Structures are given as C-alpha cells and as structure tokens.
Chain A
Amino acid sequence: MRVHLSVVMAVMLAALGAAGTARAVDPTELPDPALQVRYLALTHELRCMQCQNESLADSPVELAADLRREVREQLLAGKSDEQVRAWMAARYGDFILFRPRYSWRNAWLWGAPAVLLLIGALVSWRIVRERTVLLATDDAPLEEDRQG
C-alpha cells in the first residue's frame, strides 16, 4: 500500500511539474474563460512546425509564439475552432494538425482496418464452411471402428 501511495504521489507531482512548464512557455490568459479553454485545446492540438514533436503550447520557439498569437487573435475575432484549424492547414498542410482530418486522399487509411477485418471474416467463414461440408460428406469409418 505504501508503494502504491508513493507512485500516485510521483505521478501527481510530475503532472504538476508539466503543468508548470506549460504555463511558463505560454502565459496567455484570454478574458473569456470559455475562449481560454478553446485556446488551450487548440494550441495543444496544433504542431510546432519547427520542433515538430511539440505542440504550439509547449514550444518555446518564436514561430510557435507567432502561431499562438494567430490562434488568440482569431478566437477573439470570433472564428470557430474549425476555421482556425483550416487556416493553419492552408499554410502548413495537414501535418500541423496532431489530429488528422478525414479526406478523400487519406480515406483508404481510415478504411483499411475495416477492409482487413472484412477479408479476415470472409476467409474464416470459408474455412468453417469447408470443414462443415467435409464433416458432413466424410462417411469413411474411423480406424478404431474397423478394428473393433
């Protein structure tokens, strides 16, 4: 029990630490709490194009700060989340979105698991059917029966 508690404490401390550094990179406070929530969500799901594995919210580079300024100003101007994402993707491509969009170009990627599952189901259905037919038509006596 003691071990469990220390693990929980460590995780909580780490989370607190991470939250602390995120605030250190981006101290932006929007006047409207609802806008602030959307601002944080958007800056966390847009990629910093320079560091590439960090979000805009986490990155200390200047380009990330410039792009955060764009997010802030567009939200204050009344743009929707989708409009902000589209604006970013028009300049930097879908690569800037950590959550990929559905499009005809990547439809095969989204569809592939379903197609593979269908192929697997078809193959297993055929195997089961063949075995059923085999079982029904195979009336040769078993080795043990002949001996007996």
Chain B
Amino acid sequence: MNRFLLPLGAFLLLAVVLAVGIWHSPEKGVIPSPLLGRPAPQFALPELNHPGRQLRSAELKGRWYLFNVWGTWCTECRAEHAVLLKVQQAGVVPLIGLDWKDDDAQARDFLTQLGNPYQAVAVDASGRAAIDWGVYGAPETFLVNPQGIIVYKHVGALTDDTWTREILPRISAAAAGS
C-alpha cells in the first residue's frame, strides 16, 4: 500500500498544478497588463475638438473615467461605437478618448457622423501615450478609479456584456463601499 502512496501523491499534485494552470490561463490572445492596479500614466495632449487646448491627465483625477483608445483606421472601433454611445447615455462614467496615430480631420468627421460619446478626446499623433498605457491594438479600454489607479482593462471591442459584467459592478461596488 505504502509504495503506491508516493506515486499517487505525485500524480494528484501534478493534476492540481495543471488544473490551476488551465483555469487561470488568460483568454487566448489577451496579454495581462502590468499596469493593472498601478497609477494611470501621465499625459498632456492636444484635444481633438479644441486644438488650442491641452488635455492633462491631472485634470481627470478625483473621479472615475473610462479611457478608450481608438482610431478611424480601426474597424473594431467602429463596431464598438454603438456600445460607447450607450455608455455615454447611461451617464455613470465619463469616456475619455485617445485618438491613436490618426488623421485629426478624419477623426472629427468620424465623431460627427457616428456621434461623439467622449467627454474629451486626446490626440496621440506620435503614439507615445499609447505606448505608456501599454496599448498593443485598438480598441482598448481602461477603467480608472478616483485615486487614478487602473482597475480594469479590456482589449478589443467593448460589448454590452463587458460593460454590465465587468465595468459597472466595479464602479457600484466602490460606491457601496465608500
């Protein structure tokens, strides 16, 4: 009996390790961001609809906001636009856009035609702000809390499901806790 205990134990241990690995494996193709739980990167960028003005990350502190990285060249961004408009109508959290390596005139046209869900859009012509946020493909959406900490990141088009299951509960849980 005793001589089977060791191999059996080893087998069970291996099974547990592999099971944990399988359950915790991230969604295929989604790379976990090291910025989760860390302060949102600082930026000062021109505003798309007020070219003379700068949008500074410091202005955003003290309240929740959704930081959405998009571009007119990105087809998935077009697909998620209806969801963004719904988020704006819900009035729970303001949307801040980052127009990533885009043509300003085209971006303005895009928002005039499809509706503008953003409270403000920062223009990242050089792509440096997107790199600071660890963006590797638009669209990407970050939820930032009033302390300026990134609490959630979604890669790919925002869906009704991510909005109601991932983003809303995080904001309301924090509101209930305070």
Contact = CB atoms under 8 A, between A and B. Distances in A.
A67 B126 CA distance: 11
B76 to A, nearest CB: 13
Interface stretch (B52-60, B82-90, B129-137): B129-137
A29 interface: no
In terms of DSSP, what is the predominant structure of the interface of chain B? Answer: loop
B101 A62 contact: yes
B131 A67 contact: yes
B101 A92 contact: no
A25 interface: no
A63 B137 CA distance: 9
B132 A92 contact: no
Interface residues on A, range: 10 to 19
Interface stretch (B27-35, B43-51, B157-165, B169-177): B27-35
Contacts of A50: 136-137
Which of B32, B35, B131, B136 counts the most A-chain CB atoms under 10 A from its CB? B136
B127 A92 contact: no
B172 to A, nearest CB: 29
Interface in A33-72: 49-50, 62-63, 66-67, 70
Contacts of A70: 128, 131
A66 B101 CA distance: 10
Which of A50, A62, A67, A93 counts the most B-chain CB atoms under 10 A from its CB? A93
Interface of A: 49-50, 62-63, 66-67, 70, 89-93, 95
